[in-house]
Amino acid sequence: MIQRIQSLYLLIVVILCSLLLSTFPLWQNDSAVAEFATDYSISLIGVSASGLLALLSIFLFKNRKLQFVLGRLNILINFFIIGFFVYWSLNLSGETNVSEKGIGMFVPLVSIVFLVLANKAIKKDEDLVKSVDRFR
């Protein structure tokens, strides 16, 4: 299970999502207080769902089609998270509330890259199994 490369990619996504919730700040407001994804309910739900879907996908290694679909759904969730972060940071009035963007704004982009790599490896495994079944 964990020796497959897509499982490692999905584990990296789980780790990134957990770090986004607790360690990586999204931005700092004008009083230099770091704001995290847990401060906003929409981002908390999105990041938690992304992490849980990636964790669930790791354990669905026998059902590659469902694993592939969950990977695509997870990519869509991460695009939604990015959209929320961009909307929230651009919708604020000037630079009065957000003085410095944090690394947390880019974590969903990195997650999308690893989810695409995982889906590519899942598709490769599925094609390999189909080619072996043809020879039987």
Closest CA to 44 of 74, 15, 9, 84: 84
Residue spans of the domains in the chain: they are: 5-127
**Entry pTM:** 0.86
Model pLDDT, residue 92: 61
Model pLDDT, residue 80: 94
Q: Per-residue pLDDT for the chain (136 aa), expressed as one digit of tens each?
A: 567 888 999 999 999 999 888 888 877 776 777 777 887 788 889 999 999 999 999 998 888 899 999 999 999 999 999 998 888 877 765 555 555 677 888 889 999 999 999 999 999 988 888 887 776 5
Model pLDDT, residue 43: 87
Model pLDDT, residue 62: 86
| Beta bridge mates, 28 | 34, 100
**pLDDT, tens digit, for every residue of 21-60?**
888 887 777 677 777 788 778 888 999 999 999 999 999 8
Compute the distance between CA of residue 36 and CA of residue 90 in angstroms, rounded to an integer. Answer: 17
